[in-house]
Amino acid sequence: MESKKTCIAMVPSPGLSHLIPIVEFAKLLLQQHNDYQITFLIPTLGPLNPSMKTILNTLPPNMDFIVLPQINIEDLPETHEPATQMKLIVKHSVPFLQEAVKSLISKTNLVALVFSMFSTDAHDVAKQFNLLSYLFYASGAVLFSFFLTFPNLDEAASTQFLESSYKTVNVPGVSDPYHVTELPDPFLCERSSDTYKSILDVCQKLSLFDGVIINTFTDLEPDAVRVLQERQKPCVYAVGPIIRNESNSEANMSVSLRWLEKQSPNSVVFVSFGSGGTLSHEQLNELAFGLEMSGSKFLWVVRVPSKHSSSAYFSGQKDDPLEYLPNGFLERTKEKGLVVTSWAPQVEILGHGSTGGFLSHCGWSSTLESVVNGVPVIAWPLFAEQKMNAKLLTDVLKVAVRPKIDDENGIVKREEVAKVIKRIMEGDESFVIRKRIEELRDGAANALSENGSSRKALSDLALKWH
């Protein structure tokens, strides 16, 4: 009788941005340990979007997926905070998850469940079936260290953080404290709010897992990784950097890459605020004038402006973003720059020899992509944990510069935009920064090499699952 294959089930948080990293992690695992079967159990509020369908329908052999039954939106309290909503979707999907796990156990040798950050409410399912439980943490070790510490900080706070006695917060593994305004937004809500209670509950559950798989590598965050690994529980595996190898199958045909082919090495600043970041109309204009003043070549992904910095995550864009640019801007800069709307193949652009700088919102995926490709950063964080990532890049790793915000209106002025572009693209400071990030690039490659720290961590994890 044929023995059952060892199976790992993975439960991503709802949404494309959570599915991609866990799928990439699974691919990396199977590249090095192809004797596993991996099944994704997908909680959902509605039909899968086309991008998610494409990813799931093109999974390699040894991977499959089960879309759990949709939960009823009327069962959810009304919330506009994405992390809270994701957590609630998973919580209401637990009965479906239990059935799916029971079915997998009958057909395979299921040994572990791997959860995303906002799937922690399903942790008890692993316990119920006597399975190992792991968290796949798609961000960095510093942020995870803060999450682990937060329940203790909460106990000592009498009111919300911004109004409490806290002005700064010490994070284990980080020498300089963070100012409270640099923390992710949910931590700064009223303590009585659902958003705050939701993120606190996530943090309190982190120590329950048998292990945590973190998308970072030792050379990038050595002190934070060391501090986490010195804890008895959870056991921490730094297996990164895990990034997508390509944006999509048609990316090489894009207008962006054809334009880059005509530019000199390291001459272009790539400007992008990730898959959801948006600027106000006033800030959009100042950025445009700053790019023009800098005299540098640029490739800019433009979105329709909004007062809400994460608005593109939640709504499609009906207007033409180009209509919001300053009058005559496109004509005046046509020899210097290329403006594309809404999306560009970021992975390929950062890997192109003509790209010399990256004006970025500092999301963790973008942070890793800039490091892996050795591209210096202009750090322009907008929301979520991006301010913490920006501090790591500028103050700790020293591979980024950060524009000063005008105190009067909270805007980065055009003169400041031009100044930071010149700092990253020209002169001695640029040379030093480029040298540092190229060293990190080599460290990233070494971590994933045969005897590297991340490769070893992944082997240790695979051994544990066997």
In a domain, 1, yes or no: no
Lowest mean pLDDT among 76-90, 122-136, 354-368: 76-90
**Per-residue pLDDT, 306:** 86
Structural domain span for residue 457: 6-142+201-244+450-465
Shared-domain flag, residues 217 and 79: yes
Alpha-carbon separation of residue 416 from 208, 409, 411 (angstroms) = 46, 14, 10
Question: Domain with 384 in it: what CATH number?
Answer: 3.40.50.2000
Shared-domain flag, residues 100 and 207: yes
Shared-domain flag, residues 15 and 93: yes
In a domain, 304, yes or no: yes
Shared-domain flag, residues 45 and 62: yes
Mean pLDDT to the nearest integer, 56-64 = 94
Kindly tell me if the per-residue pLDDT of 110 is higher than 70: yes
Shared-domain flag, residues 356 and 238: no
Q: What is the pLDDT of residues 322-334, one digit of tens each?
A: 999 999 999 999 9
Shared-domain flag, residues 300 and 211: no
Mean pLDDT to the nearest integer, 360-374 = 96
**Per-residue pLDDT, 246:** 76
- Residue 195 near residue 79, CB atoms below 8 Å: yes
Q: What is the pLDDT of residues 416-437, one digit of tens each?
A: 999 999 999 999 999 999 999 9
Confidence class for position 194, pLDDT limits 50, 70, 90: confident
Shared-domain flag, residues 129 and 18: yes
Kindly tell me if the per-residue pLDDT of 163 is higher than 70: no
Shared-domain flag, residues 341 and 460: no
Q: What total number of domains does the chain contain? A: 2
Question: Percent of the chain, pLDDT > 70?
Answer: 93
In a domain, 147, yes or no: no
- Residue 13 near residue 41, CB atoms below 8 Å: no
Shared-domain flag, residues 137 and 121: yes
Shared-domain flag, residues 102 and 116: yes
In a domain, 148, yes or no: no
Confidence class for position 1, pLDDT limits 50, 70, 90: very low
Mean pLDDT to the nearest integer, 148-154 = 91
Confidence class for position 315, pLDDT limits 50, 70, 90: very low
Say how far apart CA 359 and CA 156 lie, in whole Å: 38
In a domain, 211, yes or no: yes
Confidence class for position 155, pLDDT limits 50, 70, 90: confident
In a domain, 64, yes or no: yes
In a domain, 265, yes or no: yes
Confidence class for position 310, pLDDT limits 50, 70, 90: low
* Contacts of 57-64 spanning 24+ positions with Cβ under 8 A: 59/23, 60/27, 60/30, 62/30, 62/34, 62/36, 62/37, 62/38, 63/23, 63/26, 63/27, 63/30, 63/37, 63/38, 63/39, 64/37, 64/38, 64/39, 64/40
**Per-residue pLDDT, 466:** 83
**Per-residue pLDDT, 82:** 74
In a domain, 421, yes or no: yes
Shared-domain flag, residues 213 and 294: no
Paired tokens of 62: 């040894």
Shared-domain flag, residues 231 and 211: yes
